[in-house]
Amino acid sequence: MECNISANKKNCTCTYEPCSRKGKCCECVLYHRRNGEIPGCFFPADVEKTYSRSVKRFVQAFEKEGK
C-alpha cells in the first residue's frame, strides 16, 4: 500500500507545525513509539495542543471522558 501524504495531511490533527513527519503516519508512529509516546492524533484536541504525548497523559485524557 502506498502512502498518500497529501490525504494524510488533510486528516492530520497534530498542531505541531514544524514536524517533518506530518502526513507520514508510519514515520510518526515509529518516532513516538521509540520515545515511549503516542502520536498527537490519538488525543482529544484540547490535550493534543499541550504536546504532552505520554501514555500516562493519554490514559488521563480518556479517564475523564469516561466519567
pLDDT tens, position by position, 14-65: 999 999 999 999 999 999 999 999 999 999 999 999 999 999 999 999 996 6
> Residue 31: inside a domain, yes or no?
yes
pLDDT, mean of residues 2-13: 92
| Overall domain count for the chain | 1
> Residue 11: inside a domain, yes or no?
no
> Residue 67: inside a domain, yes or no?
yes
Tell me the pLDDT band of 67, cut-offs 50, 70 and 90: low
Q: What count of other Cβ atoms lies within 10 Å of the Cβ of residue 55?
A: 10
> Residue 12: inside a domain, yes or no?
no
- Domain of residue 46, residue span: 23-67
pLDDT given at position 66: 61
> Residue 13: inside a domain, yes or no?
no
> Residue 51: inside a domain, yes or no?
yes
> Residue 39: inside a domain, yes or no?
yes
Task: Report phi then psi at 37, rounded to 5.
Answer: -120, 175
Amino acid at residue number 32: H
> Residue 41: inside a domain, yes or no?
yes
Tell me the pLDDT band of 2, cut-offs 50, 70 and 90: confident
Q: Tell me the pTM.
A: 0.83
